[in-house]
């Protein structure tokens, strides 16, 4: 089965700085990679996703890059704000298998 590893487990940045979270996956057949943000007491909320036919995707201050050869993908948050503080999860899946395999999460703390 798929194994997704995520690091760092905690990340502390100053407001306005950039944050980068990295994930690796083991199954070369995985082709869909979503990122979720989870705030305390809430369910995960999708913030961005990328499919394997694309190397990079941007949405305002958030971007995701994918390197299929190396089997790793990263989340980049620029101009961080205190409201970005949360736990972020990466995940990997295959279209026809549906279930997501999640990383262990990164707790991001943005200091004002």
Partner 1 sequence: GAGVSQSPRYKVAKRGQDVALRCDPISGHVSLFWYQQALGQGPEFLTYFQNEAQLDKSGLPSDRFFAERPEGSVSTLKIQRTQQEDSAVYLCASSLSGGARKETQYFGPGTRLLVL
Peptide bond into 8 cis (omega under 30): yes
Cα 102 to the chain's mean position, in Å?
10
33 lines the binding site for partner 1 (CB under 8 A): no
51 lines the binding site for partner 1 (CB under 8 A): yes
Among 47, 89, 92, 108, binds partner 1 (CB under 8 A): 89
25 lines the binding site for partner 1 (CB under 8 A): no
96 lines the binding site for partner 1 (CB under 8 A): yes
Min dist CB 78 to partner 1, Å, is 24
Element (H, E) at 83: none
Range 60-80 burial, b when 16+ CB lie within 10 A, else e: eebbbbbeeeebbbbbbbeeb
Which residues form the interface with partner 1 (CB under 8 A)?
4, 6, 32, 34, 36, 41-46, 49, 51, 89, 91, 93, 95-105
């Amino acid at each position: 089965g798929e194994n997704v590893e995520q690091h760092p487990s905690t990340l502390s940045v100053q407001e306005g700085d950039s944050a980068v979270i990295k994930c690796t996956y083991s199954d070369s057949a995985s082709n869909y990679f979503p990122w979720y943000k989870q705030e305390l007491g809430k369910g995960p909320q999708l913030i961005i996703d990328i499919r394997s036919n694309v190397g990079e995707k941007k949405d305002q201050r958030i971007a995701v890059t994918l390197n299929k050869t190396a089997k790793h993908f990263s989340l980049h948050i620029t101009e961080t704000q205190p409201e970005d503080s949360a736990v972020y999860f990466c995940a990997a899946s295959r279209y026809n298998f549906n279930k997501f395999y999640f990383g262990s999460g990164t707790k991001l703390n943005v200091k004002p």
